Structure 1
Amino acid sequence: MLMLFSMFFGAGNLIFPPILGASSGDGFPMAITGFLITGVALPIITVIAVAITGKDVQELAARGGRIFGLAFPVAVYLALGAAYALPRTAVVSYSSAVTPVTGFDGALSAAIFSVLFFSVALALAFDPNGIVDRLGKYLTPALLTLLAVLIFLSVTGLMGEPPAASGDYADNALAAGLIEGYMTMDSLAAMAFGIVVLSSLRQKGVETGPALVKGVSASAIGAGVVLVAVYVGLGMVGQIFPGSENYTDGAALLSDAANTTMGFTGVILFGGIVLLACLTTAAGLIGATCQFFHKIIPSVSYRTWAVFFAGASVIVSTLGLDVVLSIAAPIIGFLYPIAITLVAITIIEPLLGRKLHWTFRAALTVVTIWAALMTAEEMGADVSPLIGWAPGYDLQLGWMIPAAVTILAGIIVDYFVRPDRAVPIGGEHQVEAELRGSKADEEALIDAIHSAQEIFDEDVDTVDLDQAIEETEQHVESLRRAEQEARERLAMVKAARKQARQSLTTLRHAKKRKVGTPAE
């Protein structure tokens, strides 16, 4: 739980809530509610969606087709890696933790800091099996302690009145909060972090299937509870800090709040918070990103990928945050609607108990086209006649109605044209899903058999023989159907075992051919 929290709570998460508190005025309750929906609830649901597939974001995206199943994860991990999120952690750490304390503000000192920063993050991420222990045991408790001290002293020591609502918060505080949480990128990050949590639980002996989903869900919900407490606390700091309406940078607001309540010691304290928040996020991003790219290109080792992304992030971070944001913003805006649609259908599928083949493909196609048009408009193209009619267009949410309509139509099509097969959960094989799906029917059948047996334990003179005969005939028919279904399942199991044996033979032959080649 703490490991997942530390991964989510990075640079963007630290600076958004204070500005929300400063800008929302009396609308703070509605604004923070919107922020928590998209900044906490949506990422938690995304982690659970990854757990439902039982694998990673590539397996999640594969439901949209072969090309989509590769292109989308690559784009997500590049956005979370050297293209944006990783460099941002170093840039924000330097501007918030180093410059206020040391006074250094030059390009050379920023470059030196980036090298040191990513060297530490790289050391944490070099061993993918050790990320959980390293983050959970050491960095996260320190981070939570620092946050608790800052929030407590600020809330008890500052007596400012909430400023008047401004900007979008004055018009619609809930909608503005939704957008603010949407821009934290945490739903995209959740796709990457989900596989790290899955790997940790599997190493602890949690098997595939519903148990794995429950384990991941518990970790995600626990992290969400901590995030809610932290976000509300940081938002309250923005509400009560005198003159907070004059700030546009959440990091500067928090730094001044720390300075006001604790003096220069407070500035150092805030610097430690920012540094730890960004460092834990960077380590998690490197770990998740390198696991993914090592999977699709196994000839390049995990450590090689880690060094590459850390080095690339050092280079990009020297460009400055404004340049990084200008490059990444169109990419992030394109990916988010697709990610949310993918997660929504993944959650719906097991609830309906039917594979939604055409639903995935149709909805993702429509949303991808719509997101591309939105991105083109952001870059200057005039496409408003095509997408401007949709509700939520002004809030960049116009894609939701087309997505919902396509999902509904896809579900109807799947119900008519697709076979009724169980949905694998938590990395199950299709056979396992079929067997699990029939468990409830089998239990009901056993109860019926016991009921029939009770008839013969009673005095025959007290039994309605006609009714007993009819019920027993029904039981016999049920047993016949169960026997037939069991034979079909057994055939599926045998076929799966045969396929597994063939794969094992192929792997053994491959190993023999590879004798003499150094292992990775």
Structure 2
Amino acid sequence: MSKQRLQIWVTAFALFSLFFGAGNLILPPFLGFNAGSSWIWVTTGFALSAVIIPIMAIIGHARLQGTMMDFAKKISPVFALIYCVLVYLISISLPAPRTASVAYEIAIKPYFEFDSLWFSAIYFVLVLVFVLNRSKILDVVGKYLTPAIIIILLAIVGIGILGNYPPMKASIFENTFTSGIVEGYQTFDAIGGVVVGGVIVISLGFKTDSFSTKKEIIARAGVIAGLGLLLIYGGLILLGALNSDAVTAEDRSALVTLLSKNTLGNIGTMFLGVLVSLACFTTAVGIITGTADFVKGIFQQSNMAYTITAVVGSLLGVAIGQFDVHFIIDIAVPALMFIYPITIILILLNVLSEKWASPIVFKAVVVTTIVFSLPDFLSTIGFGEAMQPVKDRIPLGNVSMGWLMPSLVVFLIINLINTSIRNKNV
């Protein structure tokens, strides 16, 4: 195997591992459990927001090879800075601490009488050690941690779906497809794509200075990682659906533990504990590294800024990571309803050619997205009754995607105008 091909696979494994964290493990089975016989539709929706969009972010990074600021720079430098600060604040305040919470609830709490605060402290000390040795992250994660994660996942899914189960129950969702899309928000993977994509770009910079080489490695690795994520998500959702009328589960974590035990027996719970710990840990490392890289760039590549950010991010992880995982999921909803639509639109625009994604298109479409995502955001912070008449009048407003159609219409209108102007000037 050539050196470049080996690097593609190492990078693909690292991407998979940096993406596959707490939410990626506990969300799909419960989604399938509730979707039942409609699991294929919920899988399609989930894959759209939790696989396709994040991998498009990685492809966008392959084209830009800058920082996350470059994703929004066509709107304005001020907007780009505000957007990045919001994304990184959300990332180190919610998904990074959630990794410790999930690891504690599944791998520690059922077996040991150990305080969650102490666990979070030890967990984020180890995260900090990895973050402070960032030049080695790609190799350690890609060569050693990810293969272990994939082997355990394939064992649980592969053995599980071969079992005998009663017929699946009907879906509890009013709209299974859009429910899958919105649930995919909770993985934070679109945000993860713009955050860890930058980590991959910088990490590869330690190995090669060639723009074209890095572009090929990142793009191909992104596709491989995406296919791996799709396979695992589909398997976990199907496993949950197969058990929809076979078991009773109160929450996401309990279902994952139950499925693992039913699949691999008592040893399955041990494997699950190892899997959760590895998956959560690598994601936390990726998030805090990306945040520290961003702050370092703002302060003229200051190593002191990188170290301080890494320490602060780890301390936040300790403070918030001791809370119940479902509490963290619930408080994340308002932030996701606001920042996720903007992130999705920025990713989509950044993978298009300049011809279709000019600065004026960026500005018009992003402003439209912000305006039409406000009803969903306001509904999650106590204004649901006041916003309902507004959502009723917006296409897809009642499935938390009211921003989609207006943004698409504005995108088409602006491009039609630009095309008309170009034709007149010819």
Of 381, 385, 392, the residue aligned with 1:388 is: 392
Q: What is the deviation of 1:307?
A: 1.1
Q: What is the deviation of 1:242?
A: 7.2
Q: Does the aligned pair in 2 maintain the 1:27–1:173 contact within 8 Å? A: yes
Of 39, 52, 56, the residue aligned with 2:63 is: 52
Change (3 A) 1:338 1:215: same
Give 2:9's aligned residue: none
CA distance in 1, matches of 2:288, 2:137: 10
Of 324, 328, 335, the residue aligned with 2:332 is: 328
CA distance in 2, matches of 1:242, 1:38: 23
Partner amino acid for 1:34?
G
Change (3 A) 1:355 1:97: closer
Give 2:104's aligned residue: 94
Q: Does the aligned pair in 1 maintain the 2:36–2:242 contact within 8 Å? A: no
Moved over 4 A (4+): 242-245, 413-419
Q: Does the aligned pair in 1 maintain the 2:145–2:278 contact within 8 Å? A: yes
Per-residue CA deviations over 1:94-126 (Å, capped at 9, x if unaligned) read 001111222x3x7xx101110111111111221
Q: Which has the larger radius of gyration?
A: 1
**Higher RCO, Cα 8 Å, sep 6+:** 2
Give 2:156's aligned residue: 150
Q: What is the deviation of 1:252?
A: 1.6
Q: What is the deviation of 1:323?
A: 3.8
Q: What is the deviation of 1:245?
A: 5.7
Per-residue CA deviations over 1:192-251 (Å, capped at 9, x if unaligned) read 011122123333325225x54332210110001111221122223213337556324233
Q: Structure 1 residue 117 and structure 2 residue 123: aligned?
A: yes
Contiguous gaps of at least 5 residues in structure 2: 1-11
Of 235, 238, 242, the residue aligned with 2:240 is: 238
Give 1:29's aligned residue: 40
Per-residue CA deviations over 1:30-73 (Å, capped at 9, x if unaligned) read 22122212211111011112222221211111111122110001
SS in 2 for 1:179: helix
* TM-score computed with the length of structure 1 as normaliser: 0.74
Give 1:164's aligned residue: 169
Give 1:226's aligned residue: 228
Contiguous gaps of at least 5 residues in structure 1: 420-520
Q: Does the aligned pair in 2 maintain the 1:23–1:245 contact within 8 Å? A: no
> What pairs up with 1:111-260 in 2 under 5 angstroms?
111-156=117-162, 158-168=163-173, 171-205=174-208, 207-208=210-211, 211-241=213-243, 243-244=245-246, 246-260=248-262
Q: Structure 1 residue 76 and structure 2 residue 82: aligned?
A: no
CA distance in 2, matches of 1:62, 1:19: 38
Q: What is the deviation of 1:416?
A: 6.3
CA distance in 1, matches of 2:62, 2:244: 44
Of 317, 339, 357, the residue aligned with 2:321 is: 317
Change (3 A) 1:418 1:7: farther
Give 2:8's aligned residue: none
Q: Structure 1 residue 304 and structure 2 residue 314: aligned?
A: no
Q: Does the aligned pair in 1 maintain the 2:108–2:273 contact within 8 Å? A: yes
Greater displacement, 123-132 / 7-16: 123-132
Give 2:6's aligned residue: none
Partner amino acid for 2:135?
N
CA distance in 2, matches of 1:369, 1:261: 46
SS in 2 for 1:120: helix
Give 1:427's aligned residue: none
Partner amino acid for 1:392?
L
Change (3 A) 1:388 1:349: farther
Q: What is the deviation of 1:24?
A: 1.9
Q: Structure 1 residue 397 and structure 2 residue 375: aligned?
A: no
CA distance in 2, matches of 1:355, 1:337: 17
Partner amino acid for 1:124?
F
Q: What is the deviation of 1:260?
A: 2.7
Q: How many residues end up aligned between the 2 structures?
A: 409
SS in 2 for 1:215: helix
Q: What is the deviation of 1:162?
A: 4.0
Partner amino acid for 1:197?
I
Greater displacement, 41-50 / 237-246: 237-246
Q: Does the aligned pair in 2 maintain the 1:162–1:239 contact within 8 Å? A: no
CA distance in 2, matches of 1:263, 1:349: 51
Q: Does the aligned pair in 2 maintain the 1:334–1:372 contact within 8 Å? A: yes
Q: Does the aligned pair in 2 maintain the 1:23–1:163 contact within 8 Å? A: no
Q: Does the aligned pair in 2 maintain the 1:124–1:134 contact within 8 Å? A: no
Q: Does the aligned pair in 1 maintain the 2:37–2:170 contact within 8 Å? A: yes
CA distance in 2, matches of 1:144, 1:40: 16
CA distance in 1, matches of 2:316, 2:421: 48
CA distance in 1, matches of 2:209, 2:120: 38
Give 1:411's aligned residue: 415
Of 365, 368, 371, the residue aligned with 2:370 is: 368
Per-residue CA deviations over 1:350-392 (Å, capped at 9, x if unaligned) read 4x3x660111111111212222343123222323444431111
Aligned CA-pair RMSD: 2.3
CA distance in 2, matches of 1:325, 1:367: 23
Give 1:345's aligned residue: 349
Q: What is the deviation of 1:418?
A: 8.7
SS in 2 for 1:161: coil
CA distance in 2, matches of 1:85, 1:60: 21
Q: What is the deviation of 1:149?
A: 2.0
Q: What is the deviation of 1:180?
A: 2.2
Q: What is the deviation of 1:29?
A: 2.0
Greater displacement, 159-168 / 38-47: 159-168
